[in-house]
Amino acid sequence: MQQSSSYLSYWGLKELPFSTTPDVRYFYFSKEHEEAFVRLKFVIEHKKPLCMITGEYGIGKTLLCNFLISKLSATNYQFVYLGNPFVPKEELVHNLVLFLTRVGVGGIEKLPTKYTELVQLFVEIVNRNFQIGKHTVIFFDEAHLVEDIKVFEQLRVLLNSAGQNTSSLSIILLGQTELREKIASLGQFKSRITYHYHIKNLDKEEVAEYIKHRLLVAGHPTGELFCKFAVEEIYNLTLGLPRTINNICDISLMLGMAKSVDKINKEIVLEAKEEVLL
């Protein structure tokens, strides 16, 4: 705690600027993230059934979801976030119903154990939401790690089961690039995907803006703590991947404090590189 406090006071910060915790205040609108945001918002507001967003590890897909949820009214939507791609297909519906009844429609003391009854209850909850003007949205994160492809078939069944109200349920898959290959082999499921967008890494100018943005949000008065050549080296080392940028910037600031410098230069970034797995 003392080290963190000295780190903040040394650089004139109120909080850690390069934490990997998905805090929506730090969401940076690159061209790619803005495009993904616009598409996701369109899918949800127009109640499209199935959408897929892909991107490399650390590109900011989870943060994008959190930011989107923060911008949409809880009065009009009920959001479900699934972050465990290893859940067996038998437990998937149970987990969805458990979440929906826990944070949304109440009054259910004990969930049924039979699969058909769980599906029926899921559909009832989704339809009940629909009747009161609330759209149900499921975010399935890390979907590229799903080992049992029957899980995707399970999602298709849920979409079909809720199909009597075609605008009552949206499912959004998020995953790394290999998710596209996994879905490509699932003909019926693939045909239900209405929108797909792949988020590309930040370009060199955006890396500079991204670093400055995070420093400003963290309380620095100017956001100018990395010199031009340091930023260029960060871009070269990270290829514009936000999570890796966070890691190398965080270590660079720690090293810079130890060296009592006023600004991070290229040499410090290169030193920080040795402590980051690129």
Contact 240, 201 (CB under 8 A): yes
Q: Give the model's pLDDT for residue 110.
A: 74
Distance CA 207, CA 83 (A): 28
Is 97 found in the same domain as 153?
yes
Q: Which amino acid appears at position 81 of this protein?
A: Y
pLDDT at 27 over 70: yes
The number of C-alpha atoms within 13 Å of 188 and in the hemisphere containing its C-beta is 10
| Residue that is last in its domain, among 199, 230, 249 | 199
Q: Is residue 26 part of a domain?
A: no
Q: Give the model's pLDDT for residue 2.
A: 43
pLDDT at 71 over 90: yes
Is 70 found in the same domain as 165?
yes
Is 254 found in the same domain as 191?
no
| Residue that is last in its domain, among 175, 199, 223 | 199
Is 256 found in the same domain as 144?
no
Which pLDDT band, with edges at 50, 70 and 90, does 87 fall under?
confident
Among 191, 144, 157, 193, which Cα is nearest to 172's? 193
- pLDDT average, residue stretch 257-271: 97
pLDDT at 165 over 80: no
pLDDT at 278 over 90: no
Question: Which of 100-109, 161-170, 214-223 has the least mean pLDDT?
Answer: 100-109
Q: Give the model's pLDDT for residue 167.
A: 79
Is 134 found in the same domain as 83?
yes
Total number of domains in the chain: 2
Q: Give the model's pLDDT for residue 163.
A: 67
Contact 20, 246 (CB under 8 A): yes
Which pLDDT band, with edges at 50, 70 and 90, does 162 fall under?
confident
C-alpha distance from residue 179 to each of 105, 183, 198, 272, 275 (Å): 32, 6, 11, 32, 30
Distance CA 10, CA 262 (A): 9
CATH code (residue 64): 3.40.50.300
In degrees, to the nearest 5, what angle opens at C-alpha 82 toward C-alphas 76 and 88?
135
- For 178-204, write each residue's pLDDT tens digit: 999 999 989 889 999 989 999 999 999
pLDDT at 105 over 50: no
Is 192 found in the same domain as 125?
yes
Tokens read off for 212? 């400055």
Distance CA 256, CA 217 (A): 20
| Residue that is last in its domain, among 199, 226, 241 | 199
pLDDT at 264 over 50: yes
- The chain-wide mean pLDDT, for the chain, equals 91
- pLDDT average, residue stretch 100-123: 76
Is 248 found in the same domain as 133?
no
Is 230 found in the same domain as 206?
yes
Domain that holds residue 154: 31-199
